[in-house]
Structure 1
Amino acid sequence: MYKLINFFAVTLFVGIGFISCKTEPKSKTVIKKQKPNIIYIMADDHTTQAFGVYGSRLADLNPTPTLDKMAKEGMIFDNCFVNNSICVPSRAAIITGQRAQTSGVIDLEGVLPQEKQYLPKEMKKLGYQTAIVGKWHLHEEPAAFDYYKVLPVQGKYFNPDFRIQGDKPWPQNVVKTKGHSSDIITDSTLDWLKKKRDPSKPFFLMHHFKAPHDDFENAPRYNEYLKDTFIPEPRSLYENDNHGSIATRGKNDSLTRVIASSVSRRNIIRNQAMNIYPEKEIYKKYGVAQEIPITKHTRFNNTKEEKEYTSTVYQDYLKKYLRCVKGVDDNVKRLLDYLEEEGILDNTIIVYTGDQGFMLGEHDYIDKRWMYDESMRMPFFVRYPKSIKANSRTDAIINNTDFAPTLITMAGGEQPKYMQGKSFKTILETGEEPKDWQKATYYRYWMHLAHRHGNPAHFGIRTKAYKLIFYYGKYWVDTDNPNAEWNKKSWGNDFTRHTPVAWEFYDLKKDPKEMNNAYKDDKYAEVIADLKNQLLNMRKDLNETDVNYPHIQKVIDQHWND
């Protein structure tokens, strides 16, 4: 009897439930797809030579274990290039997606007002909360971001001040901190993530380290790092074969004492010993650089004494640099650990790059500015396991104007028509380079002989196989118009403003270290002619001609067929 009653009860319940299901209207709730968070991490002057994943002579030192692991979990770009290897123009290109003459930022004096801070503006349109922490260097207030905490200009390595939003006009709202900049910048980013971000929105965060920009100052905990390690040295530190031209060396190497800051004592205006040793110690230990006679072979003096001196400086230089890199790598780990603890790591697109490359003794050069690959190439890799395959790699050519369009499209937006860069989202997601993808990139360095570095102004084109550079420095100053706005006093060194005009050409497949300027080699005549045509077209298409600089165009016209 109990079983029969139970049967009828269950039947009635199921029947009622069925009637209820039939009469209840279907839910129209739509589950909104969650947008990915985006963190763009950029270190200052972190060059590809100072990674494991780029396979340089320094790779075996394992300088970047965290970054290497992150890179292998996503896609690595082998041909990412800067448009101008100097801080402000590079950062402007990244924020605007535009070339220098379009954005108006051609040099370190360039500014980027709020109305041109396009990347954060576009991300906000897509519903993102935006923030920037660390180095900004674009002079005007980063007001397009919802939140900012940025260094004044270059900032300090130790106990840095930061400019923030506040009651006073920019840049008067300043907070003081204690500690090393890499640690403090990461502390500030983590503070924003934990306390200031809106969990209901996706976030777009730019996390910019000051390190490893020179003059190098590492956190004290790294003082013993690599202390007893011999750092591999590039052959071109001592022997340079047929690298360069009369534009970079002068006739019979007559300009080598003043062109391009050096590791060795070659350059008497700025060499690395001046940066890393107290002045008296230099003179006491090694003597005065001016005592070395100027000869045809001064540029790479191979005496035992000079080799010992140069090697000593190089070893100390690289250890200071790599100690700063180590601090960056460790702080990136702190950031990744937090994202993992919060359960948002795999829903966050993480980009890592430098704002340009950096010369680590190659060709006896320090600093950047050059169109040579160590200076022009940017490290670049992206981790996002939801759409980017791990252990993927591409040799597709990208440049820093492509970053903004790519981030915008990855966030679900459309590439703005006013941006000159192109989104490479398809490459990230498929691993395939589209047939119509760019086959070359354009480069331009404007700041002729600036800031004691002594790099001549130049522009050029780079493909996967070749590089063509034109140095036009001889007529940089417009003597017919001495008051013209392009005659910037802060640029040229008075002792030799007029440097020779010259072309350089490198076959990168046969000569990846750029040791042989083959411009005069007849077998490359057709290749060079084709590159010149491409270069002319690119300058026109990118709004990078010299129509506004007739004195430079005059040089171009006179020497184009040299």
Structure 2
Amino acid sequence: MRLPYLLVLALIVAACTNAVHAVDGPRKPNFVYVFTDDQRWDALGAVQREQGEKGRFPWLKTPNLDRIAAEGIRFRNAFVVNSLCAPSRASLVTGQYGHVNGVTNNHTTHPAGNISVATLLRPAGYVSGYFGKWHHGNQSGKRPGFDTSASFVGQGVYFDCPIEVDGVKTSSKGFVDDVTTEYATNFIKANKDKPFLMILGLKTCHGPFTPPPRNEKDYDGAMARSVPNYGIPAIYAKVGPNGPKGKATDAKEVSTNLGMFRGINSVDDNVGKLLKILDELKLTDDTVFIFSSDNGYYLGEHNLGDKRTAYEESMRIPMLVRYPRGVKAGRIEDRMVLNVDPAATFLDLAGQPASAAMHGRSWKPLLEEKLTDWRDSFFYCYFYEKTSGSPMTTAVRTADAKLIKYPGHDEWTEVFDLKADPYETRNLAADPAAADLRRKLEAEYDKQAKAIDFKIPTFADQPAPAGTEAPKKKAGKKGAK
């Protein structure tokens, strides 16, 4: 049978195209990493639906974020290694803990000589861009390691925020996350024909929790469900663990920070814009899209309203990953992942070696559903800050237990059986019945500290000498950084 001329021509073109692809290999994946500021792990519509009666915010709706989860993987045990803005950003870019990458607080600039996932991807042909919040004190200029950046200085402001475009101060109008999302979108459009790394740090939902006008009335009158640890003071609180119960209440519902959740609605809007442009440019299948947060946040749990320390609400974060070409849709993954992992993951997926100095691990075997020897614990450290009232906090977190230490305060040591006590209300540190658990956790703490060669570096803030008072901000202030 003779084939029509046009069909023959089409087959020839397809064959030539396939031959070219066979020589060049499949397109390297693009990487899009979007992360918010202070968004808790459970501040997702998908999580609230999963939690049912235990969900604190059953009214929360995040359709675009839920789309990522439905079309990819939702990691249910994702954590930061230091629950603080700038250190978390440094860990993302370097794949390292703060005692190695030089960033242990919010007022330290990001060292220009640090390893960077952006520079390590460059030999594979990647172009990189950083957009939005960088923090690192008042560091100015193009963001280290990236080919281009459009970012604001410090905390910036929610409206009409000056943006530094490759270090050049540029005025802007409107809601800052809308502005930086537009810069990120334009970067994707300009680089659609080459592999790219795009990181977007949104200011939302950091204090003062100001949403754009389109969301300022969302959830009016909504209340949060209470939880067993609501209002019960942390062990390091001046009131003492056995003192007054702060905001503890028998009420089933309590007021909450609606500004935070209104802001999350604006986040969902902007994530939707990015998903749409990837669809329009036919880049969806070839793009690894990750959504996360720089840290968690207390909303009355342990009578706190900030982050920093090592209870679950602070150290646990949302982590959604979509990669249609390489990841089965609708998956739930319970193995532990950390915010030091994305750098190694991107490099692995791009076919580039990770730096031996990185502490993170590639998620490639998890994405591919391969059985692998994976972590079942990790080391956590929040360093003392001269501008904060939170104590230095170290911890080891395993799959079902946690040991928290406060250097200089052995009397505050905490041990929790997370399987039996997920709200961390019963400290077992001095319980004879839990002595074996504590011994195991102490051994794991030492093992994980050694694995990262942990030490308190000289560049970290140091506590004031005994008998003097360092300037402090009251822990738990809503505007805390």
TM-score normalized by structure 1? 0.73
Larger radius of gyration: 1
Structure 2 counterpart of 1:410, one-letter code:
L
Distance 1:72 1:301 in 2: 36
2:319 is the counterpart of 1:391: no
Give 1:144 shift.
Answer: 1.6
Structure 1 counterpart of 2:169, one-letter code:
V
Partner residue of 1:163? 164
Distance 2:117 2:362 in 1: 13
Distance 2:156 2:456 in 1: 34
Q: Over aligned residues, Cα RMSD in angstroms? A: 2.6
Partner residue of 2:178? 183
Structure 2 vs 1, CA of residues 378 and 301 (structure 1 numbering), >3 Å: closer, same or farther? closer
Partner residue of 2:149? 148
Deviations 1:58-106 (A, max 9, x none): 4521331210121121111111111110011111111111111111111
SS in 1 for 2:32: strand
SS in 1 for 2:329: coil
Distance 2:416 2:61 in 1: 30
Partner residue of 1:103? 101
Residues 76 and 332, structure 2, Cα contact 8 Å, conserved in 1: yes
Residues 44 and 62, structure 2, Cα contact 8 Å, conserved in 1: yes
Partner residue of 1:201? 194
Distance 1:460 1:229 in 2: 35
Distance 1:297 1:54 in 2: 32
SS in 2 for 1:511: coil
Structure 2 vs 1, CA of residues 466 and 337 (structure 1 numbering), >3 Å: closer, same or farther? same
Give structure 2 stretches of 5+ with no counterpart.
3-17, 464-481
Deviations 1:449-490 (A, max 9, x none): x545x211110100011000011255xxxxxxxxxxxxxxxx
SS in 1 for 2:224: coil
Structure 2 vs 1, CA of residues 372 and 148 (structure 1 numbering), >3 Å: closer, same or farther? same
Distance 2:306 2:241 in 1: 24
Structure 2 vs 1, CA of residues 348 and 59 (structure 1 numbering), >3 Å: closer, same or farther? farther
Partner residue of 2:380? 443
Partner residue of 1:276? none
Structure 2 counterpart of 1:395, one-letter code:
D
- Aligned counterpart in structure 2 of residue 127 of structure 1, from 125, 128, 145: 125
Give structure 1 stretches of 5+ with no counterpart.
1-9, 11-26, 254-295, 475-499, 553-562
Partner residue of 1:461? 396
**1:45-444 superposed matches below 5 A:** 45-55=38-48, 56=51, 57-58=55-56, 60-138=58-136, 139=139, 141=141, 142-165=143-166, 170=167, 173-194=168-189, 197-238=190-231, 240=232, 244-245=234-235, 247-249=236-238, 296-297=243-244, 299-300=246-247, 315=255, 317-430=256-369, 432=370, 434=372, 436-444=373-381
Residues 472 and 502, structure 1, Cα contact 8 Å, conserved in 2: no
Structure 2 vs 1, CA of residues 52 and 58 (structure 1 numbering), >3 Å: closer, same or farther? farther
How many residue pairs were aligned?
Answer: 436
Structure 2 vs 1, CA of residues 140 and 447 (structure 1 numbering), >3 Å: closer, same or farther? farther
Percent identical: 30
Partner residue of 1:512? 422
SS in 1 for 2:104: coil
Structure 2 vs 1, CA of residues 544 and 250 (structure 1 numbering), >3 Å: closer, same or farther? farther
Distance 1:301 1:514 in 2: 15
Structure 2 vs 1, CA of residues 124 and 523 (structure 1 numbering), >3 Å: closer, same or farther? same
Structure 2 vs 1, CA of residues 124 and 528 (structure 1 numbering), >3 Å: closer, same or farther? same
Partner residue of 2:11? none
SS in 1 for 2:145: coil
Distance 2:301 2:287 in 1: 36
TM-score normalized by structure 2? 0.84
Q: Answer 1 or 2: which has greater helix percent.
A: 1
SS in 2 for 1:393: strand
